[in-house]
Structure 1
């Protein structure tokens, strides 16, 4: 490379390292040496111009077939284009040329990760760290792989190393905070999230994860305010584009308001308690846009004038609109002001009559749910479900408690049939094939003495009906149950929490529930009088 070309390359590299990728690329337009072409490819990758990146890589390889970095970047471009096997070949070629190229080992590990071959991925990520222990990218990827395998202690150390090596990298601090939260080291997690936000104030994931963390710690005012960032550009959700003004706390006397559900059924059942509070502010017409499965049940909420579909023409005929989970923020909810006027959902008489005498009830009747909704449409939600869900077989110690009549409340194409895997004499009665919506499920729960469930919508339904409910909670918990609450919940006074003491370990929880159920059964037995 000539002196002038070397100077041009150095200037472009400085621009690249400063994050000024478009300017760096523009300064490389006239270059045709392999080093410069590969840097142009890296700029294109940073700008998400995958096709251009691949073209620059091919030109670099033509100029120097043994340029390992060009092969590695080609693999990155091919992987981004969905050509995984071609990407793998590029990474392997890079490693043939430069066996100690840490980035190529890391990228090969990401290839294995994408295919679910986590053991192979771990081997590649470890090799990357051996090649360059000071590569923060390698530590990050190793941490991600450990997280997928549930090895949160190793993940935390990897992310801490990445954050130490790249202290200005907001993403490294964010990932460190997430691993710390998994280890229930909440104050340290909070500090890591705040560090990420100090470096990158618009880091949406850091805002939302910090919001959940603060809510779980009971710091609700700041938590609810941060949770509003879910609707910022790049956030997790997008509010409906109706043209109706979003309610920001304006006076509601004589106004019409439509409230939209968001996220899952459980969130809807938990936060619909705020709808009567809106009516109390003088709303003349209160509409609730919710899915069909909840419509009949939500019509029983005091103050709700109509439950409508998302595409209903009546949507536009309102003075204001609001998202359901923004209501805690709008009402300034704190730990001491959680609205807990229960029940706020009710069973309609027609549904009650329809389900009367359809259950084989005994002296002590308990509903069971052992798994949640897999939610395969969203990877992060599916990962949460895998942590909270069990199999029907794992409920056997509970099902063996004598004197209890068990009723299944389990729905799901793969989870409901698990009843057939249980011993015939221990199978709970299953009425769920005849259940069409949550109003039916509510009518069943109304006849029961207790519901035992993993953290699902049924937990919220039972709580909203003011029925006793025992909730099995994963180790790092969900923010809504408060991380340090012993057994109780401010949202549902009759709820009792049974928490994992080790990540992924349910046996002790099930044994604890079975013991508690035996005690509850004994307390219900009539006392025998001495003759």
Structure 2
């Protein structure tokens, strides 16, 4: 075969390859390589074809051979990166993409694929400059505008995202991902009617697209229309039955409506999300088998608040005569060891990041071995099928007596009046979560009410400046106890919660701290809350009292009601 014949056959193979005829292209590439075994283009293209045909590891060897012959070919490096990403070798893929861009910095496909790979792997901040660079290469390209807008949404920059999406929709008004994202931003901006119009516009353009139905379900949920919410949610599931995020949101909507058994069963979809904790080496999953004489591991959920919440069912396992092993966050180790003295309690070691976390279980006891394992959040599906199954639940966490005495001494030094633990937001904030939280300015009536000794139990970062600003702005009276770590030291957190007369907090970890102790908790937030399970209370947590509003209503009605309750507490003491 002459050199010209080789090029003709390579061109024929490439035409079939580009047309999707992998079966027809492969033998032509092989004939080229038979005649010219070191032909870099044929090695590269056949390697990528094998990857597309499901033989990625085999294809990678050929692409690597092509790169060894022609190391300056950016396209070879880019396709090597795509294969590595598919194989789960994300760090190597990132390096390969960067090499491709070093060779050809203006390749928009390589920029886009590297940015998308980083975003898929949870590297949101690292992906952001790539999306900006992509937009700089093609400033009028709707796909680039949409990608940058999505990146801005990831970062919580919703105003910038709205501007980018408007530009995108001017040139591509039928781009359904853009119309749906624009609708979603209407939810966080509390422009519900506008969000509804854009979701419906998306559905009109593409009736088989699940996302806008799920978006409408979220909108109806925040408006308190549970029937409409469930209807839209079921439509989303019919279109995307294997989407874990849609299924998890549906589980919460079912629980809100009081469909407890189905809701907790659906909640299992959270384990299939891409950011769920990977747990290699676990014993068989507990399916409800008799536990007498058996050993069961309760695996930690991802959030500390969830760990505390679902620990409420550990006494049920002990009552079934099981030997219980508890995995928990390191910050909860001493608290759980004291509260569940008959259990083995072990702090997990978490690798990865919050988007791809992983635990190892080399530490599991072997004598006797662990028979079953189950994630804490999966216990309700087996142990809490109805409201009646919550009625026997009692406080289950105990604070350190020594720490409680220390806290009581600190509180005794305050002026007369009820001691009230207070937090106004969660640690993590973003435009969607912020709908559920307040600012200190919303609490001016409470924070200036005489005779109330409000003690900050806020955690996270930035709260010191918020308190300082509120003191300057309107004379807020809020005590900060010296030497108390409300972010990392859960012995402090539980001890202070046990020492105050009551807690005021949003739907956050603190609510379950107080509830697990049996302390009065005035929990403010957005109605509905799925853990009320279709009732007007929090089943299993009788000390929790809700002060709720619809998302579009002002916080004043809630803060006024809580302030009135605090005045009544002051009068009763």
Instruction: Give unmatched runs, 5+ long, in structure 2.
Output: 1-13, 30-47, 53-74, 83-106, 118-126, 350-360
SS in 1 for 2:280: coil
Where do residues 198-277 of structure 1 align in structure 2 (5 Å cutoff)?
A: 198-232=238-272, 234-277=273-316
Q: Could you tell which deviates more after superposition, 435-444 or 207-216?
A: 435-444
Q: Quote the Cα distance in structure 1 between the aligned partners of 2:165 and 2:287.
A: 48
Where do residues 1-40 of structure 1 align in structure 2 (5 Å cutoff)?
A: none
The aligned residue for residue 374 of structure 2 is 322
Query: Cα distance, 1:260 vs. partner?
Result: 1.6
- Structure 1 residue corresponding to 2:219, chosen from 152, 157, 179: 179
- Whether 1:434 aligns to 2:484 is yes
SS in 2 for 1:366: strand
Q: Quote the Cα distance in structure 1 between the aligned partners of 2:461 and 2:155.
A: 25
Q: Quote the Cα distance in structure 1 between the aligned partners of 2:175 and 2:554.
A: 34
Query: Cα distance, 1:302 vs. partner?
Result: 5.0
SS in 1 for 2:198: helix
Q: Deviations over 1:261-302 (max 9, x none)?
A: 20222212222111111011111x222111232222223435
- Whether 1:412 aligns to 2:460 is yes
SS in 1 for 2:232: helix
Q: Quote the Cα distance in structure 2 between the aligned partners of 1:290 and 1:309.
A: 5
Q: Quote the Cα distance in structure 2 between the aligned partners of 1:109 and 1:327.
A: 39
Query: Cα distance, 1:53 vs. partner?
Result: 13
Q: Quote the Cα distance in structure 2 between the aligned partners of 1:462 and 1:517.
A: 17
The aligned residue for residue 366 of structure 1 is 420
Instruction: Assess if the C-alpha contact under 8 Å between 2:288 and 2:382 holds in 1.
Output: yes
The aligned residue for residue 437 of structure 2 is 389
Instruction: Assess if the C-alpha contact under 8 Å between 2:417 and 2:570 holds in 1.
Output: no
Instruction: Label 1:316 to 1:129 Cα distance change in 2 as closer, same or farther (>3 A).
Output: same
- Structure 1 residue corresponding to 2:320, chosen from 268, 281, 287: 281
Instruction: Assess if the C-alpha contact under 8 Å between 2:285 and 2:374 holds in 1.
Output: yes
Instruction: Label 1:109 to 1:345 Cα distance change in 2 as closer, same or farther (>3 A).
Output: closer
The aligned residue for residue 331 of structure 2 is 293
Instruction: Label 1:24 to 1:235 Cα distance change in 2 as closer, same or farther (>3 A).
Output: farther
Instruction: Assess if the C-alpha contact under 8 Å between 2:223 and 2:550 holds in 1.
Output: no
Instruction: Assess if the C-alpha contact under 8 Å between 2:423 and 2:504 holds in 1.
Output: yes
Instruction: Label 1:89 to 1:280 Cα distance change in 2 as closer, same or farther (>3 A).
Output: same
Q: Could you tell which deviates more after superposition, 456-465 or 80-89?
A: 80-89
Q: Quote the Cα distance in structure 2 between the aligned partners of 1:504 and 1:9.
A: 60
Instruction: Label 1:321 to 1:428 Cα distance change in 2 as closer, same or farther (>3 A).
Output: same
Instruction: Give unmatched runs, 5+ long, in structure 1.
Output: 1-7, 16-20, 30-39, 56-70, 95-101, 376-381, 526-531
The aligned residue for residue 454 of structure 1 is 506
Q: Quote the Cα distance in structure 1 between the aligned partners of 2:241 and 2:264.
A: 17
SS in 2 for 1:341: coil
SS in 2 for 1:174: helix
Q: Quote the Cα distance in structure 1 between the aligned partners of 2:371 and 2:175.
A: 55
Instruction: Label 1:92 to 1:130 Cα distance change in 2 as closer, same or farther (>3 A).
Output: closer
Q: Deviations over 1:401-457 (max 9, x none)?
A: 222222222222322453333438743332263346323322222232211112221
Q: Quote the Cα distance in structure 1 between the aligned partners of 2:190 and 2:477.
A: 32
Q: Deviations over 1:358-401 (max 9, x none)?
A: 213534221111221217xxxxxx55543333333433311222
The aligned residue for residue 163 of structure 1 is 203
SS in 2 for 1:359: helix
Scaled by the length of structure 2, the TM-score of the pair is: 0.70
- Whether 1:479 aligns to 2:530 is yes
SS in 2 for 1:423: helix
Q: Quote the Cα distance in structure 2 between the aligned partners of 1:345 and 1:506.
A: 32
Q: Quote the Cα distance in structure 2 between the aligned partners of 1:150 and 1:395.
A: 21
Q: Quote the Cα distance in structure 1 between the aligned partners of 2:402 and 2:257.
A: 41
The aligned residue for residue 521 of structure 1 is 570
- Whether 1:92 aligns to 2:131 is no
- Structure 2 residue corresponding to 1:512, chosen from 544, 561, 568: 561
Instruction: Label 1:518 to 1:22 Cα distance change in 2 as closer, same or farther (>3 A).
Output: farther
Query: Cα distance, 1:502 vs. partner?
Result: 3.9
Q: Quote the Cα distance in structure 2 between the aligned partners of 1:22 and 1:304.
A: 61
Q: Could you tell which deviates more after superposition, 252-261 or 305-314?
A: 305-314
Instruction: Label 1:289 to 1:201 Cα distance change in 2 as closer, same or farther (>3 A).
Output: same
Q: Quote the Cα distance in structure 2 between the aligned partners of 1:395 and 1:87.
A: 44
Query: Cα distance, 1:503 vs. partner?
Result: 3.2
Q: Quote the Cα distance in structure 2 between the aligned partners of 1:209 and 1:84.
A: 29
Q: Could you tell which deviates more after superposition, 301-310 or 494-503?
A: 301-310
Q: Quote the Cα distance in structure 2 between the aligned partners of 1:355 and 1:25.
A: 75
Q: Quote the Cα distance in structure 2 between the aligned partners of 1:253 and 1:54.
A: 52
Query: Cα distance, 1:133 vs. partner?
Result: 4.7
Q: Deviations over 1:14-66 (max 9, x none)?
A: x8xxxxx989999xx9xxxxxxxxxx9xxx9xxxx9945999xxxxxxxxxxx
Instruction: Label 1:385 to 1:110 Cα distance change in 2 as closer, same or farther (>3 A).
Output: closer
Q: Deviations over 1:133-186 (max 9, x none)?
A: 544344223223434534333223212221232122223333332333333332
SS in 2 for 1:411: coil
Q: Deviations over 1:167-216 (max 9, x none)?
A: 22223333332333333332222222222222232111111110111112
Query: Cα distance, 1:471 vs. partner?
Result: 0.7
Query: Cα distance, 1:467 vs. partner?
Result: 1.3
Instruction: Label 1:51 to 1:515 Cα distance change in 2 as closer, same or farther (>3 A).
Output: same
Q: Quote the Cα distance in structure 1 between the aligned partners of 2:532 and 2:293.
A: 36
Query: Cα distance, 1:228 vs. partner?
Result: 1.0
Instruction: Label 1:292 to 1:431 Cα distance change in 2 as closer, same or farther (>3 A).
Output: farther
Query: Cα distance, 1:119 vs. partner?
Result: 4.5
Q: Quote the Cα distance in structure 1 between the aligned partners of 2:81 and 2:140.
A: 15
- Structure 1 residue corresponding to 2:550, chosen from 495, 501, 504: 501
Q: Quote the Cα distance in structure 2 between the aligned partners of 1:127 and 1:151.
A: 19
The aligned residue for residue 85 of structure 2 is none
Aligned-residue CA RMSD (Å): 4.2
